[in-house]
Amino acid sequence: MKIGFIGLGIMGAPMAQHLLDAPHELFVRTRSKVPEALKGATVCASNADVARAADIVFLMLPDTADVEAVLFGDDGVAAGLAPGKTVVDMSSISPIETKRFAKRINDLGCDYLDAPVSGGEVGAKAASLTIMVGGPEPVFERVKPLFELMGKNITLVGGNGDGQTTKVANQIIVALNIAAVSEALLFASKAGADPAKVRQALMGGFASSRILEVHGERMIKRTFNPGFRIRLHQKDLGLALQGARELGVALPQTANAAQLMQVCAANGMADLDHSALVKALELMAAHEVAKT
């Protein structure tokens, strides 16, 4: 199959690699150097050229504005589409704007799926991502074999926009869990307990979670090199709070987590892993969970 992939970042590059290894014919467009592992792909001069060459075009971009520019900007994907082609946006962006993008692509006689992912860089490399999909079921079934090359838990949630809504919900849960683990380990450390042993004990009880397992270890070992950057999680929580205002619901704990991430960003830590949210609490406590 001829596949286009735009956005070869921390997540996009390994995802594209799985498609290339399948093997499928891969056409890419990136602002940065093409990773060595993707040298078998064809590098296109524009996003429109990717769409002209491919039957299905995948996007993995940072934000809503980036997706809009790639789709509808000068020499964008839309300019290269022909009826019958499919666009699959795996970025994490606004559910409201996603519905608008889908309509514009549908008006060109093409199909659109929003399919954001969860699992971070580790999941992207291991092809074990959770993929939350919004769009028509026949289109989902046609693209599903490609999703299965990149992920394990693949769910059609509903129509266009519902995949993005699910991802926002996912990011709320993840952020609040990171904040909870941060507070627990900080409390234990400040009280004089060994945070590593506290974490080990908690891993066997009801408080056990993937966040405690992975990010709790990061907090103790002080390994905050990015798997998923704080600034990107800030963006997702911003989408959650924007949606909450429009829906007339209160998300007080989400707002609190967003403020803790803002503390990190204001102190030059926006490009650290989101587990570094613990540093905001450490600043307020004048105490680190563990010494560097």
Catalytic residues: 167
* Radius of gyration, CA atoms only, the chain: 20
**CA–CA distance, 124 with 157 (Å, rounded to integer):** 21
**CA–CA distance, 49 with 160 (Å, rounded to integer):** 25
Backbone dihedral angles phi then psi of residue 2, each to the nearest 5 degrees: -90, 115
| Length of the chain as a residue count | 292
Tell me if 228 sits within 8 A of 234, measured CB to CB. Answer: no
**CA–CA distance, 258 with 261 (Å, rounded to integer):** 5
The single-letter code of the amino acid at 231 is: R
Q: At what angle do helices 230-247 and 252-266 cross, to 10 degrees?
A: 150
Q: Which residues have CB under 8 Å from 26's CB, separation 6+?
A: 3, 4, 5, 16, 19, 20, 38, 40, 41, 42
